[in-house]
Amino acid sequence: MSENQNLSQKNGSAAGRPPMGRRGPGAAVVPGEKAKDFRGSSRKLIEYLKPYHLALVFIMVFAACSTVFSIVGPRILAKATDELVRGVTRMMAGEEGGIRFDYIGRILLLLMALYGVSALFSFLQSFIMANVSAKVSYRMRNALMEKVDRLPFSYFHTTSYGDVLSRITNDVDTLTQSLNSSITTLITSVATIAGVLIMMLSISWQLTLVALCIIPLSLALVLVIVKHSQKYFLGQQKYLGRVNGHVEEMYGGHVVLKAFGGEEKSIAQFDRENEQLYRMGWKSQFLSGVMMPAMTFVGNLGYVAICIAGAVLASSGAMTVGGIQAFIQYVRSFTQPITQLANISNLFQSMIAASERVFEFLGEAEETEGNVSLSTKDMEIRGDVEFLHVKFGYRPDKIVIRDFSASVKAGQKVAIVGPTGAGKTTMVKLLMRFHDLSGGQILLDGHDITEFSRRDLRDEFGMVLQDTWLYNGTIMENIRYGNLEATDEEVIAAARAAQVDHFVRTLPDGYQMVLNEEASNISQGQKQLLTIARAVLANARILILDEATSSVDTRTELLIQKAMDNLTRGRTSFIIAHRLSTIRDADLILCMKEGDIVEQGTHEELLQKGGFYANLYNSQFEQAG
């Protein structure tokens, strides 16, 4: 694990570009993906929807009413058809009366009113459902973002950022979209099937039996197609995630890719993944596209059978022409909701699988504060820090810090040196309680740091890292991140102290210049200077500088060093350094190796010992023979 992981400059939260290898943009839960615990996740989702139960009741009532008014239409239209047939028959027979257009007109006006009311109820239920879905999405995303802030750092050591982002974006989108579609479709489909079946029976039970024979054939056809297409949909989303991840990684690292001539290898890998995506994609789309033509074919067979049976009944006087016309309309309305219900099963699987991932994330163990008994706001923090037999491991079976003890007085400048992987950055993470100790204690002004809340504790620290973190915003906003209540004048004063003001004024728009997503429109050295200005503005009692001048030129380093001397004066500061020439004036140098302090003292004392530090220092200044 890298020592210089990207932490925030003051209040410490993991940041950086998420790896996308596991799930790419668009790698949402796919149709047919099954939840591990369908019942349990369903109960959680129902519980989550409780605040909207009244709205859901209205949605059900309006959807059912819309369907009922729509279903009644063909039966009423049959009366107009029958009247038209009777009128034509009277005219052909030379009887008086002819066609009663006033009667047909009243029926058509009634029909228009019914369909108008049906459309109104449909609009109302769609409006309310869209509102509920938007609120669920809003509430769920808020809960997920708040959860991210409450999770311990150890969670992000075992979970990729891409997977977390997928839960916040893809899974929430899948859940809300499926929720929006499935609830209304389920209600209307069930209401349509029940209502149409009643209407069909009221017209002719014989024709209803003929129509019902279509259902087993339709269901069998749908199940066969869904069964064969499911694996291809899953494969399509799998390879879509891989392709997106590969493209994102290559785009983010295109400079390194070109520098090492990796274009051909990258293209070859993309071609392999894209070929698999193509194979899965066309098979899934083909099988999905086959469903409607197949259902139409089966439906047409049913219409032929109904027409033959209806003609026989009409010839014997058991049915009217209007009844046959209405029945055929109902049959058309009967097969569609059956297909919709088959598709809803996939939507429900997607919705529950997505909700399962979301609730799984929301159920992760959070950071616990323990028994908080002190507040830094009620104390005048001096900056005395003491490490007492500190022991720590990222995993219980892998101890990184075995027995670390050191005493730092307020205002001292402490340098921590050692080879890569010695545990230097881990120590400052423990100091800010990014992780809890496996053993021992860390004291701040004589108080165990666990007696403070994490927020209070971190308010006393300012941090500058080798790996800079700037967000998409203006330069002024990025510096102000160190103190959100600072005025523009205070921001500019901090920028001057960190040698930032001069170069910022040479940029387009100056302090109002907007940094892009990865702040690639300024140099690495300039990014480093901005993070230093942020730490200056924070004005914290304790400073942590993790190789803060590694990305600047020698002249700028001297200017920053002077600014750092002013910044650290009167403050406790921990400086992690690889260039030992920058920490010769430190009050205390801690030499770490494999998680333990092997030497400590001032620069001169450690050189006189001729031990670990002396060898490390001299190795940086050896002249090649």
Q: Kindly report, residue by residue over 21-31, the tens digit of the pLDDT.
A: 333 333 333 34
pLDDT higher for 206 or 18? 206
552 contacts 526 by C-beta, under 8 angstroms: no
Residue 569: its H or E element: none
- CA 409 vs. chain centroid, Å, equals 44
**Of all residues in the chain, what percent carry a pLDDT higher than 70?**
90
The residue type found at 404 is F
For 439, half-sphere exposure in the C-beta direction (CA atoms, 13 angstrom radius) is: 11
Stretch 570-577: mean pLDDT: 85
Q: For the chain, how many residues are written?
A: 625
* Residue 304 structure tokens: 């032929």
CA distance 557 to 569: 18
Mean pLDDT of 513-538: 82
d(CA 33, CA 354): 9
Among 132-136, 291-295, 488-492, 594-598, which stretch is predicted with the lowest mean pLDDT?
291-295
Which residues, listed in sequence order, are joined to residue 593 by a DSSP beta bridge?
596
User: What does the alpha-carbon distance between residue 525 and residue 548 come to, in Å, rounded to a whole number?
Assistant: 10
* Residue 263 identity: E
Strands (E), 295-410: 385-395, 398-408
For the entire predicted model, the pTM comes to 0.67
Q: What is the mean pLDDT of residues 36-45?
A: 78
DSSP state of 51: G
Which residues partner with 596 through β-bridges?
Answer: 403, 593
Strands 588-593 and 572-576: unpaired
- Per the DSSP assignment, residues forming a β-bridge with 380 are none
Mean pLDDT of 46-57: 88
Cα–Cα distances (Å) from 139 to 28, 44, 142, 397, in that order, read 19, 15, 5, 39
What is the Cα–Cα distance from 280 to 274, expressed in whole angstroms? 10
What residue has token string 């668009």? 26
DSSP state of 31: T
Residue 597 clears pLDDT 70, i.e. is over it: yes
- Percent of the chain exceeding pLDDT 90 equals 6
Q: Which of 466, 478, 497 is nearest to 559 (CA)?
A: 497
